[in-house]
Structure 1
Amino acid sequence: MARTRVRIPHLLALSAALALATGCGDDGATPSADGAPPPGKGKPVVVATTTWEGAFARAAGAEDVKVIVPQSVHHAPDYDPKPSDLAAVAKADFVLYAPFEPYAAKIKEAAGSKAKLVEVSLDNDPDKAKAEVDRLAALFGTPDAAARWKSGFDTEYGALNKDLQAAWPGGRSPSVVAQVFTAWSAKLAGATTVGTYGPEAVTPAQLARLSAGKPSLVLDNAHMSTGTVLPDSGAKQVGIVNYPGEDLDLLPVYRNAAAELKKAMGAS
């Protein structure tokens, strides 16, 4: 999910916390050239801007993961970092952020952290997600944990995909329109994508083109919905949630999407 408007208020107001934050951050250990924790330092300490990055880190094998932006904040760039956030960053080996969250670099700079700043590609497409998990595991030095997660993921994803295909109305793949950051859920359902939109609001020209595809479902992004996308088209709109919960488990994202899709297909 993209969030492009960024607000960085009150970072200067946090300067009083810098001495505390930086004092907690230097334990004398220097990361290796590839960013992995040095020998003897143990498992990596990871700070993630949101639960999405945090879930990728956990899937890759990180166990000590701190999330800065609470799950209740639907628009992460609006979040005002607290002194405790700076303290957490100062003690981290890695700080994970998404390209649309440029304030992450400012948080790291403000805290004086020596952590490696890692840009994460947030996409729940199964192939892209597993590739990102592998990349992070290489940085963390946790490839075995990542391999175990991927094995469990493949089993669960396959079962969800099979269950959704069995629920196709009339035994035929449903035609869908997907917001660009929910296309992964169409793939999960084995649906036929006849058009995509977003992240900007749908224009009249786009509306006409999307309607012409005669979709039965519209897969909207629950975190940045622009309202009813195809009014009067007869298509059922389904809100797809991209962000994991506070348990930092990616699998429920797929389970919940599958449940919503199965319900929508049954009603279509």
Structure 2
Amino acid sequence: MARNRVRITSLLALSAALALVTGCGNSNDSSSKSGTEGKEGKPVVVVTTTWEGAFAKAAGAEEVKVIVPQSVHHAPDYDPKPSDLAAVAEADFVLYAPFEPYAEKIKEAAGSQAELVEVNLDNDADKVNAEVARLGELFGTEDAATKWKATFDTERAKLSKDLKAAWPGGRSPAVVSQVFTAWAAELAGATTVGTYGPEAVTPAQLAELSQKKPALVLDNAHMSTGTVLPDSGAEHVKITNYPGADLDLLPVYRNAANDLKKAMS
């Protein structure tokens, strides 16, 4: 992804200020950590965005601190504050995505003993279930993760069935999807005839995608490159990947299903 800028100097300066306030050390002795267990011994988890936060919550984490505010559209552009470093210093786990390289720098600058966990951020159902199960095992909250999976599978199946019942003329619609919204096309049972992104669409790609004659174009609300295929007659649907402040992943699917159903009608 573009613009993965890491402000290392500012992070180190912030960590120095933080050390004066919190007394954080750089010892590798895990016994030096204290007060990092949350409610009833549950782990304290710090996440870079609400997306990782939703995965953590689904896996059973109860103490979840989100670093990047929802108002920041592109997470790697965020410049961490001293309060962020303080949260990291008290965490058991820090969850981040590969395109957020500053996460490890945050941990290092804060002198945290937290375990840094890379999360595969993809709302594809199989990948979600795999990540939630992995995190549940990591957190020691397997029962909560299993319970959430059952709820998720049931809810997603209902949404998918409802969308398939709304197919125009009873036929699966042809869809062009941004690479990170393919999960929404799958939810609708749509036929993906082409993909684009995350880079800007070239004239050659536009010509190729137009020839596919899609009924729907699924755009990524957080990485939009503008209207794709504006003269094709296809309905454009913005798909949001990031959950809200409640860190609940299910509304992401419900909202996508609602928008897709409207577009198909």
C-alpha distance in 2 between matches for 1:24 and 1:124: 37
Give the match for residue 18 of structure 1.
19
Give the match for residue 5 of structure 1.
3
Kindly report which structure 2 residues correspond to 1:198-217, keeping only aligned pairs within 5 A, or say none.
Answer: 198-217=197-216
* CA 1:81–1:61: 2 relative to 1, 3 Å: same
1:75-118 deviation digits (Å, cap 9, x = unpaired): 11111111110010000000000000000000000000000000
* CA 1:22–1:130: 2 relative to 1, 3 Å: farther
Instruction: Give the C-alpha shift of residue 29 in structure 1.
Output: 5.7
Q: Which stretches in structure 1 are left out of the alignment for 5+ residues?
A: 32-36
1:49-79 deviation digits (Å, cap 9, x = unpaired): 0000000000001000000001111111111
TM-score, normalization by structure 1: 0.91
C-alpha distance in 1 between matches for 2:100 and 2:162: 36
Q: What letter matches 1:146 in structure 2?
A: A
Instruction: Give the C-alpha shift of residue 18 in structure 1.
Output: 2.7
C-alpha distance in 2 between matches for 1:219 and 1:160: 17
Contact 2:85 2:109 (8 Å CA) reproduced: yes
Give the match for residue 106 of structure 1.
105
Q: SS at 1:11's partner residue?
A: helix
Instruction: Give the C-alpha shift of residue 255 in structure 1.
Output: 0.3
C-alpha distance in 2 between matches for 1:4 and 1:54: 23
C-alpha distance in 1 between matches for 2:20 and 2:56: 28
* CA 1:22–1:4: 2 relative to 1, 3 Å: farther
Q: What letter matches 2:141 in structure 1?
A: T
Identity of aligned residues (%): 75
Q: Which stretches in structure 2 are left out of the alignment for 5+ residues?
A: none
- The two structures, once aligned, show a CA RMSD in angstroms of 2.1
Contact 1:89 1:113 (8 Å CA) reproduced: yes
1:19-43 deviation digits (Å, cap 9, x = unpaired): 33453999x8649xxxxx99xx811
Q: How many residues align?
A: 257
TM-score, normalization by structure 2: 0.92
Q: Does 1:182 align with 2:175?
A: no
Q: Does 1:51 align with 2:46?
A: no
Q: SS at 2:192's partner residue?
A: strand
Give the match for residue 263 of structure 2.
264
C-alpha distance in 2 between matches for 1:95 and 1:250: 19
Contact 2:47 2:95 (8 Å CA) reproduced: yes
C-alpha distance in 2 between matches for 1:54 and 1:213: 37
C-alpha distance in 2 between matches for 1:30 and 1:204: 58
C-alpha distance in 2 between matches for 1:12 and 1:146: 36
Runs of 4+ aligned residues of structure 1 deviating over 6 Å after TM superposition are: none
Q: SS at 2:69's partner residue?
A: coil
Instruction: Give the C-alpha shift of residue 134 in structure 1.
Output: 0.5
C-alpha distance in 2 between matches for 1:149 and 1:21: 36
C-alpha distance in 2 between matches for 1:18 and 1:57: 28
1:160-181 deviation digits (Å, cap 9, x = unpaired): 0011011111111000000000
